[in-house]
Amino acid sequence: MRSSAILRVFVFMLVVLAAYLWVGQAITAMTGGERKAASVVEVTPEGGEAIFWGKGRCFTCHSLGGEGSAVRCPNLGQFGEKFPLAIGARAEQRAKERSDETGTHYSSTDYLVESLARPDAYLVEGYKNEMAIVYAPPISLNLTEIKAVIAYLQSQGGDLDLEGIENPGELAQTYYARIAAASAAGGGDPGNGEEMFVDTCSDCHTIQGEGGEVGPDLSSIGNKGLKFISESILRPARKITKGYETWVVVTESDERKHVGLKTEETSTEVEITKATGEVATIARDDIREIEQDEGASVMPDDLTEMLTVKDFQDVLAYLMMQKGEDGAEAETGK
């Protein structure tokens, strides 16, 4: 083996690596260096711009006129025939459209807040609903940052209304409450959480009069805080609401064991409602044994295997929003 061959190969490698470095250097010179994104604490168009092109990652899906290269979602600037108006002016038009569609008055701020808080509410034709929940991980914008983005979008061809952003009407306030609840719950998506709740929990639990009655009414559960709700889902037996304890009744005649809530009790009978909703009425004379099982809950303890992390966060976010009438009013600042 000739040493000159090794040397030639080594020099060749250095040339290749130098070319690689040059490409990296040239691209960095064009596109900028390391990417740090700072939090924004002021609701201004400048703050929103920093979020739009930084932490919020809006630019990965939306272009703004000639800025940016994303085509996945609508261009938010004035761009070609499809988008003759920039988003600020477009929002005013869309607000009218939404008002007509829903019968509720929309301001341009309402429309923009809705677009960020519930992107599926209105879809631009030809585009799919694939917008990330911006107040959920990994983006996790807080309410101030979201307001700043709205200010930035309004400034694109529209009338900037900072007062309207800070103190909007009822509709936007509801969405602000939704974002605040979701942020508190680790950033879940309450919309998906509601669907998950209906599919998984509503057979037993009621919210605002909808659902089953085996478990406690959860219409005001949000007032109990995140920790309580989280514990109740993950370890239902640890904190059982009074009146929802688990009872075990063994009958004399057929030695059957009935496990469930004691929903009715008279001098002659005991009514046990099982997790499935089935109701067993047992004569007191037929009871061999009746006792409360303090270590068990009627609520399934394998929910964690049925829910993904995201589903769990989504349900939490939805439940955090359930603050009854008083709670909801307090949340929206009324």
Partner 1 sequence: MDREKSEAAIQVTNMQTEYRSSRSNYWLVLGVLLTLFSPEVLALEANEYRQFLGIDSRRLVWFLAQMHLFFGAFVLGVPLFAVIVEIVGWRNRDPKLDKLAYEFTSLLSVAYATTAALGGLLAFALFTLYPTFMGYMAGLFKDIMFLYALLFFAETFFLYLYYYGWNWLQGGLEFSRNLQWLFKGLGVAIILAGAVFLFGGFGLEMRGDTRSFIALLYILPLGVGLLILRDLKSSHIFIGILLNIAGTAIMQLANSWAGFMMSPAGVDEEGELIGTLWQVFENILATPVAIHRMLGNLAFGGLVAGAYAAVKFIGARTPAERAHYDWMGYIANFVAICGLIPLPFAGYYLGREVYSTSAVMGNNMMGGDFSWTFIIQAMLVGSLFLISNYYLWSGMTRIPGSERYYKYIKFILGALIISFAIWLTPHNLPLTSQEVGDMGGSQYHPTLKFMGLMPAKNAVVNLIILSTFFSFLLYRRGNKSDVVPISQQGRLPKVVISLAGLVAVAIVGQYAMGMLNLDPAELDLPADRAHYFRTVGYLLIFECVMAVLAVILALKDRGKLAQGLYMTVTALSVVLFLGVYGFVVMEKASPFLRNIAVSQFLQLISCIILVTAIDLYLFRGAKELGKLQWGKMTVRSQYALLLLTFVITMNMGLMGFIRSGLRGDWHIFGVMRDTSPWSYTPSNYTMTEMVSLAVLVFMVGVAFMFWLGGIAAQNKAPPSVPGTEPGQLTDEAGSQPASRTGD
The residue to which tokens 């955090």 are assigned: 320
238 part of the interface to partner 1, by CB under 8 A: no
Query: Please, which residue, 61 or 280, has the CB nearer to partner 1?
Result: 61
For residue 234 the two structure tokens come to 């993950």
Q: How far apart are CA 135 and CA 110, in angstroms?
A: 17
Strands (E), 128-276: 206-207, 210-211, 246-251, 257-265, 269-273
Query: Please, which residue, 59 or 228, has the CB nearer to partner 1?
Result: 59
Sole binder of partner 1 in the list 85, 89, 121, 132 (CB under 8 A): 132
Q: How far apart are CA 245 and CA 224, in angstroms?
A: 19
- Exposure string for 130-153, b = 16+ CB within 10 A, e = fewer: ebbbbbbeebbbbbebbbbbbbbb
Query: Please, which residue, 34 or 163, has the CB nearer to partner 1?
Result: 34
Q: How far apart are CA 287 and CA 270, in angstroms?
A: 9
Query: Please, which residue, 127 or 293, has the CB nearer to partner 1?
Result: 127
What track of x and - describes contact with partner 1 for positions 19 through 48 (by CB under 8 A)?
-xx-xxx-xx-xxxxxxxxxx---------
* Count of Cβ atoms closer than 10 Å to residue 273 Cβ: 22
177-206 positions binding partner 1, by CB under 8 A = 183, 186-187
Q: How far apart are CA 301 and CA 317, in angstroms?
A: 20
Return the range that interacts with partner 1 (CB under 8 A); candidates 13-21, 197-205, 255-263, 265-273: 13-21
What track of x and - describes contact with partner 1 for positions 271 through 310 (by CB under 8 A)?
---------------------------------xx--xx-
**DSSP state letter for 64:** B
Return the range that interacts with partner 1 (CB under 8 A); candidates 84-92, 121-129, 215-223, 269-277: 121-129
- Rounded to the nearest whole angstrom, what is the least distance from the CB of residue 311 to partner 1 in the complex? 11
Q: How many of the chain's residues bind partner 1 (CB under 8 A)?
A: 67
Sole binder of partner 1 in the list 103, 126, 243, 333 (CB under 8 A): 126
* Count of Cβ atoms closer than 10 Å to residue 9 Cβ: 10
Query: What 3-state DSSP class applies to 37?
Result: coil
Sole binder of partner 1 in the list 46, 130, 291, 294 (CB under 8 A): 130
For residue 115 the two structure tokens come to 């677009």
- Give the footprint of partner 1 on this chain (CB under 8 A): 1-2, 4-6, 8-9, 12-14, 16-17, 20-21, 23-25, 27-28, 30-39, 54-55, 57, 59-61, 63, 66-72, 123, 125-130, 132, 137-140, 142, 183, 186-187, 230, 234, 304-305, 308-309, 312-313
